Amino acid sequence: MHSVLVVDDAQFMRTTTSNMFLEWGFNVVGNASNGEEAVKLYREYEPDIVTMDVTMPVKSGIEASKEILSEYPDANIIMITALGQQRLIMEALEIGVKDFIAKPVNASQLKIIVNKVLNTYD
């Protein structure tokens, strides 16, 4: 069973995204509301995949991803972005984030990205 860490400053997004992963048979090991929590939980659980919101308080998704990827270069991070954040998406991909998806998150689109990133297809 694959594990996932869901990171978003909006409770609604964390719940919605977590429910998608639970439906797909994933183990949701944690939910974080900012980048600092995300780094801490990543170190604790080393999940198979992370969905990371770009814009968050305390530490942004980009900053948190940089920190995680510097310690865990093989981390599978998918950025969740708002429309119009192309510059941030490019920066995220340059530091090693695997892929991205724009809000509102479409479940079937996210599933395709997750399968691609984890290299699993069903």
Per-position DSSP letters for 19-87, written without gaps between them: HHHHHTT-EEEEEESSHHHHHHHHHHH--SEEEEESS-SSS-HHHHHHHHHHH-TT--EEEEE-TT-HH
- Cα–Cα distance, 108 to 33 (Å, whole number): 24
pLDDT at 86: 84
Would you list the domain boundaries of the chain?
3-105
| CATH number given to 3-105 | 3.40.50.2300
- Cα–Cα distance, 58 to 96 (Å, whole number): 21
pLDDT at 48: 98
Record the tokens describing residue 73, joined without a space: 């270069």
pLDDT tens, per residue, the chain with 122 residues: 899 999 999 999 999 999 999 999 999 999 999 999 999 999 999 999 999 999 998 999 999 999 999 999 999 999 998 877 888 889 999 999 999 999 889 999 999 999 999 986 55
Torsional sign, CA 43, 44, 49, 52: negative
